[in-house]
Structure 1
Amino acid sequence: MRRRLIQSTLAVVLVVIAVFGVSLVIVETRTISSTAQERVDLEAVRLASIVDSRLIGTGSVDEDFLREQIRDARYAVIRIPGEPVVEVGTKPTGDVLQGRATGEEGETVLVEEPRSSVTREVGRTLLIIGLVALLAVIAAVLLAIRQANRLASPLTDLAETAERLGSGDPRPRHKRYGVPELDRVADVLDSSAERIARMLTAERRLAADASHQLRTPLTALSMRLEEITLTDEPETVKEEATIALSQVERLTDVVDRLLTNSRDPRSGSAVTFELDDVIQQQIAEWRPAYRGEGRAIVSSGKRHLTAVGTPGAVAQVLAALIENSLMHGGGTVALRTRVTGNQAVVEVTDEGPGVPGDLGARIFERAISGRNSTGIGLAVARDLAEADGGRLELLQGRPPVFGLFLSRTPPSKKSPGDGDQTVR
């Protein structure tokens, strides 16, 4: 591209120089020639006037007097009636310019000048024009190189940016070049980079959330299947198989919820449900794991509470808190229910060492963990709680008390004038 820009600019300049330069040379040559001819004619008239004055005053004209009147390297011939011809100067050879004049006393004056003087003057003029043309070409080349670099370098940068985007590096460069068209392309590439970065972040977050949310129900399901393999009693096998099937249904609900949130994280399926059912379900699922660790899991507090939310999501939140107590806590885990204002609260506590003071304010941030774990369990639980209008908080650090707050008022249906907003 640089070469084409330089060649095109140079071609335009050469065409302009050729058109206007040749015309200027022709005009200047004719002007110099006509000026030289006029100069010779005026010289002849001047000599004729001087000869007239001399004849009137003294009656004679000598060669010495006329030699003093001749300017430059000119040659003059004066013919006076009845007098010898007077020649002054050296007669030029070759092509000459001639000027003639006739005086009042009948004398004639012929002045000759070599045309070489005109040629030298034309040559000087042509040299000046040539130098100006050369300077114009040099200036045009430098300008073309500057413009080519100004246009080609940004295009190279934009090509590298597009290549980086294609290779999976979505970092925007925020670099502008002072050319509106190129800056517009840079804006579009930066916007695309930001969108791609958001998409990649969302996909990575979905993968992390999916792996964490699926791990808990799969662990519970595997425990139930182990119970089945360890017993020969048909009634126990039937009971455990029924529980396993219900866990498979909840696992399917988790997958559906993950897919729904990946398409539209604002979508929710909050309904009014019995909080006791979800709590007892989680206690039944986690009791074998706690029994295996020599620990207990119990429930207490106000019974027969109804709450608004997605039962599957609430179960996932409680499962994350129960698993967190199993991994990091100690002693008996208690799920207590109570009512505060228009909210139902489920508190999950244990007898362990609690949350370190330096992690208390950041416990719900992703990648924050007090032990060697993924650090996303509580973050996912908080997101699930907030998706249905609830919230998850750390109420006390030592002993640890986590509180899940759920509304008890069903969400209002959207009216035609509400647009896309939902009143809760």
Structure 2
Amino acid sequence: MRRRLINSTLAVVLVVIAVFGLSLVLVETRTIENSARESVDSEAVRLLSIVDSRLGGGERVGPDVLRDQIGSDRYARIEMPGRPVIEIGKRPTGEVIEAEETGAEGEKVLVQESTATVTREVGRTLVIILAVALLAVIAAVLLAVRQAHRLSAPLTDLAETAERLGSGDPRPRHRRYGVAELDRVADVLDGSAERIARMLTAERRLAADASHQLRTPLTALSMRLEEITVTDDPDIVKEEATIALGQVERLTDVVQRLLTNSRDPRTGSAVAFDLDEVVKQQIEEWRPACRSAGRAIVWTGRKAMQAVGTPGAVAQVLATLIENSLMHGSGTVTLRTRVTGNQVVVEVTDEGPGVQPELGARVFERTVSGRNSTGLGLAVARDLAEADGGRLELLQQRPPVFALFLGREAGSQEHEH
């Protein structure tokens, strides 16, 4: 592309120089010839006038008087009746430009100039025109090189940006080149890079969330299946199988929820549901794990409450909070349900050291963790809560009190337990 730009610019300049240069040469040549002819005519008239005036005044007419009135490269011949012929300069050979004038006393003045003088003047003019044309060509080449670089360098840069996008590096470069069309292409590539980056981020986030959120249900399901394999009691097998089926349904709900949130985190499917069922189900699922850790899990507070949300998402949030207490806390894990205004609140607390002071509210940020964990659990739990219009907050750091706020179904009846 650079070579084509230079060649095209140079071709245009050469055409312009050829057209206007040839015209200029013709005009200047004719101008120089006409000027020489007019100058010869003028000198002949001037010499005749001087001769006439001197003859009329009876003065002497000699070469020394007339020599200063004619150019050094010209020849003059003056003929006067009854007087010797006067010649000034060297008579030219070859083609000449001449002018002859006759006076009132019969005198004649002849002025000649060789055309070689005119040719030399034309040659000097041609040299000047050629020098100017050469300078114009050089300037055009330099301008073409600069313009070609200005256009080809951004195109090369844009090609590299597109190649980077294709190779999986979606970082926008935000480079602009001062050329409207190229800047438009750069805007489109930067916009594409940002969209690709968001898509890749969403995919990575989905993979991380799925890995974290599916770990606990799969572990619980594995424990139920192990219980079935080690018992011969049909009633226990039936009970464990029923619980396992419920866990599979919740696992399916978790997967669906993760996929929905990955497409649009604000999308929710909130409905009115029995909060007691979700809380009891979580306590039943986590009681074996608590018993294995030598700890207890209890439920206090109001009962028979109707909350607004997605049961599967609420169960997943509570599971994350309970797992967090088992991993980082100590003592009894307590779930407390209460009402505040038009909201239902589920608090999860334990008797452990709580959240480190330097973490504070940052505990809900991704990758932020006080121990050797991924730091995803609370962040995903908050996203799940907010998707249905609820919220998840840390009410107290020591001992830790996490609270899930949900909408309250109007007209629901509660009683203290």
Deviations 1:99-156 (A, max 9, x none): 1111111122211112222122112211211121112112211221221122111111
- The amino acid across from 2:112 in the alignment is E
Give 1:219 deviation, angstroms: 0.9
CA distance in 2, matches of 1:405, 1:59: 133
Distance 1:71 1:356, change over 3 A: closer
Deviation of 1:265 after TM superposition, in Å, equals: 2.4
Q: Quickly say closer, same or farther: Cα 1:59–1:222, change in 2 above 3 A.
A: closer
| Corresponding residue number in structure 2 for 1:39 | 39
- Matched residue type, 2:129: I
Determine if contact 2:43/2:69 at 8 Å carries over to the other structure: no
**Amino acid of the residue matched to residue 286 of structure 1?**
W
Cross-structure match for 2:415: none
Structure 1 residues 71, 351: closer, same or farther in 2, change over 3 A? closer
Instruction: Tell me the amino acid that sits aligned with residue 27 of structure 2.
Output: V
Q: Closer, same or farther in 2 for the Cα pair 1:105/1:208, shift >3 Å?
A: same
Deviations 1:369-404 (A, max 9, x none): 111111010111111111111111112212211111
In the alignment, what sits opposite 2:155?
155
Q: Residues 125-144 of structure 1 correspond to what in structure 2 (within 5 A)? A: 125-144=125-144
What amino acid sits opposite 1:288 in the alignment? P
Q: Distance in 2 between matches of 1:250 and 1:198?
A: 29
**Corresponding residue number in structure 2 for 1:395:** 395
1:390 corresponds to which letter in structure 2? G
Cα deviation, residue 173, structure 1: 1.5
- How do residues 264-275 of structure 1 correspond to structure 2 at under 5 angstroms? 264-275=264-275
Residue 189 of structure 1 aligns with an amino acid whose one-letter code is: L
Secondary structure of the residue aligned to 2:303 is coil
Partners of 1:68 and 1:210 in 2: CA distance: 111
C-alpha contact (below 8 Å) 2:306/2:409 kept by paired residues = no
Residues 15-414 of structure 1 aligned to structure 2 (within 5 Å): 15-58=15-58, 61-67=61-67, 69-409=69-409
Where 1:279 maps in the other structure, the secondary structure is: helix
- Any conservation in 1 of the 2:228–2:236 contact (CA below 8 Å)? yes
Which runs of 5 or more structure 2 residues have no equivalent in the other structure? 411-417
- Looking at structure 2, the residues matched to 296 and 364 of structure 1 have their Cα atoms a distance apart, in angstroms, of 26
1:422 maps to none
3-state SS of paired residue (2:224): helix
Residues 103, 405 of structure 1: alpha-carbon distance in 2 compared, 3 angstrom cutoff:
same
CA 1:409–1:86: 2 relative to 1, 3 Å: same
C-alpha contact (below 8 Å) 2:40/2:99 kept by paired residues: yes
Of the structure 1 ranges 81-90 and 313-322, higher mean CA displacement relative to structure 2 is found in 81-90
Q: Deviations over 1:192-239 (max 9, x none)?
A: 111111111111111111111111110110110111112121111111
1:148-177 CA-partner distances (Å, limit 9, x unpaired): 122111111111111111111111112211
Distance 1:73 1:308, change over 3 A: closer
SS of structure 2 residue aligned to 1:302 = strand
Q: Could you tell me which amino acid in structure 1 is paired with residue 5 of structure 2?
A: L
Whichever residue aligns with residue 167 of structure 2, its letter is S
Bigger drift between 371-380 and 145-154 goes to 145-154
Counterpart CA distance in 2 for 1:164 and 1:69 is: 83
Provide the C-alpha distance between the structure 1 equivalents of 2:97 and 2:103, rounded to a whole number of angstroms. Answer: 20
Tell me by how many angstroms 1:71 deviates. 3.3
CA distance in 2, matches of 1:165, 1:154: 16
- SS of alignment partner, residue 76 of structure 1: strand
Distance 1:118 1:33 in 2: 6
Work out the CA distance in 2 between the residues paired with 1:86 and 1:360: 121
Structure 1 residues 112, 215: closer, same or farther in 2, change over 3 A? same
Secondary structure in structure 1 of the residue aligned to 2:29: helix
Q: Which residue of 1 aligns with 2:8?
A: 8
In the TM superposition, residue 22 of structure 1 has moved relative to its aligned partner by 0.6
- Quick one: distance in 1 between partners of 2:361 and 2:216? 25
CA distances 1:265-317 after superposition (whole Å, capped 9, x unpaired)? 22211111111111111111111111211222121221111111100000000
Using the alignment, how far apart are the partners of 1:348 and 1:60 within structure 2? 138
Distance in structure 2 (CA, Å) of the matches to 1:53 and 1:301: 141
Provide the C-alpha distance between the structure 1 equivalents of 2:328 and 2:36, rounded to a whole number of angstroms: 111
Question: RMSD value over aligned CA atoms?
Answer: 1.7
TM-superposed CA distance for 1:82, in Å, is 4.2
Q: CA deviation at 1:64?
A: 4.6
Q: TM-score, normalised by structure 2?
A: 0.94
Q: 1:18-41, CA deviations, whole angstroms, 9 ceiling, x for partnerless residues?
A: 101111101110110111011111
Q: CA deviation at 1:67?
A: 4.0
CA distance in 2: counterparts of 1:230 and 1:243, whole angstroms: 16
Question: Quick one: percent identity of the two aligned structures?
Answer: 78
Paired letter, 1:124: R
Give SS of 1:339's match: strand
Q: Give the aligned partner of residue 417 of structure 1.
A: none
Gaps (5+ residues) in structure 1?
A: 411-424
TM-score, normalised relative to structure 1 = 0.93
